[in-house]
C-alpha cells in the first residue's frame, strides 16, 4: 500500500519526484471557425449537416495523409480538400481554384471542371476515403480506389466536407474502417503547433 501512496504524493523513499507533464495531442475535428453560415457541426466535431461546407481543424502538411467520411444520410454532399479561401457557404464546392472534391453526383471537380465521373455513386452507409500526398488527391469507396486522381494544388489545404438537401456525414480522422493505401496514415499535427499549447 505504501508503494501506491508514494506515487500519489510524488515521494518515494522520502525523495520528491519531479512530475513530468504529459502532452496530449488535440483531436482533429471539423473547425467551427471555418464553416458555412448554415452548417451544423455536432457529435464532438465529427458530424456535419445543414447547408454549406466545413474544413478540418488541422492542415494537411505531412507527405501522405488519409481520412475517411461515412455517408450517414443522402442528399447533396461532397468530400475532398480545400484552402481557407474556399467559399464554404456555396455548394457544391469544386467550382473554384480553392477546392478539389468528389460530389454526390459522382463528379470529381476542381475549378468548375468535371475531371472525372464515377459510375458507382456512394450510398448511405458507404465509407469514402481520401488520400493526399501533395502530388495527387485520390478517392476510395468502401476501400476500393475510384482511379480519379486530381493534381495541381496551390496553398495549404485542409480536409473538406460539404452538405445540402438533408445530407449528413461523419468524418473519421483515426481508427479507419478500411486500411489506408500503402504509406498513408492519419493526418498529423505539425510539431510547432503542439509546442505552442
Angle at 66 (CA atoms; ends 125, 93), nearest 5 degrees? 70
Q: Please tell me the predicted confidence (pLDDT) of residue 191.
A: 55
All structural domains of the chain, each given as residue ranges with its CATH number in brackets, are 28-189 (2.60.120.920)
Alpha helices in the chain (DSSP H): 2-9, 191-195
pLDDT along the chain (197 residues), means of 10: 40 48 63 93 94 96 96 97 97 96 98 96 97 97 97 95 97 96 92 47
pLDDT at 14: 53
User: Average pLDDT of the chain?
Assistant: 87
pLDDT tens digits for range 33-88: 999 999 999 999 999 999 999 999 999 999 999 999 999 999 999 999 999 999 99
Return d(Cα 189, Cα 42) in angstroms, integer: 22
> Taking the model in full, what pTM does it have?
0.83
Amino acid at each position: 500500500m505504501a508503494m501506491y501512496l508514494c506515487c500519489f504524493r510524488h515521494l518515494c523513499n522520502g525523495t520528491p519526484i519531479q512530475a513530468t507533464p504529459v502532452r496530449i495531442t488535440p483531436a482533429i475535428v471539423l473547425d467551427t471557425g471555418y464553416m458555412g453560415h448554415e452548417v451544423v457541426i455536432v457529435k464532438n466535431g465529427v458530424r456535419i449537416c445543414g447547408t454549406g461546407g466545413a474544413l478540418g481543424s488541422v492542415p494537411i502538411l505531412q507527405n501522405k495523409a488519409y481520412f475517411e467520411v461515412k455517408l450517414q444520410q443522402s442528399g447533396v454532399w461532397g468530400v475532398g480538400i480545400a484552402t481557407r479561401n474556399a467559399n464554404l457557404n456555396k455548394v457544391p464546392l469544386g467550382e473554384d481554384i480553392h477546392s478539389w472534391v468528389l460530389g454526390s453526383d459522382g463528379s470529381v471537380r476542381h475549378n468548375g471542371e468535371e475531371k472525372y465521373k464515377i459510375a458507382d455513386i456512394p450510398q448511405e452507409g458507404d465509407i469514402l476515403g481520401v488520400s493526399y500526398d501533395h502530388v495527387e488527391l485520390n478517392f476510395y469507396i468502401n476501400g476500393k480506389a475510384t482511379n480519379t486522381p486530381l493534381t495541381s494544388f496551390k496553398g495549404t489545404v485542409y480536409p473538406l466536407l460539404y452538405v445540402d438537401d438533408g445530407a449528413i456525414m461523419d468524418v473519421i480522422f483515426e481508427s479507419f474502417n478500411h486500411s489506408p493505401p500503402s504509406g498513408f496514415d492519419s493526418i498529423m499535427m505539425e510539431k510547432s503547433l503542439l509546442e505552442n499549447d
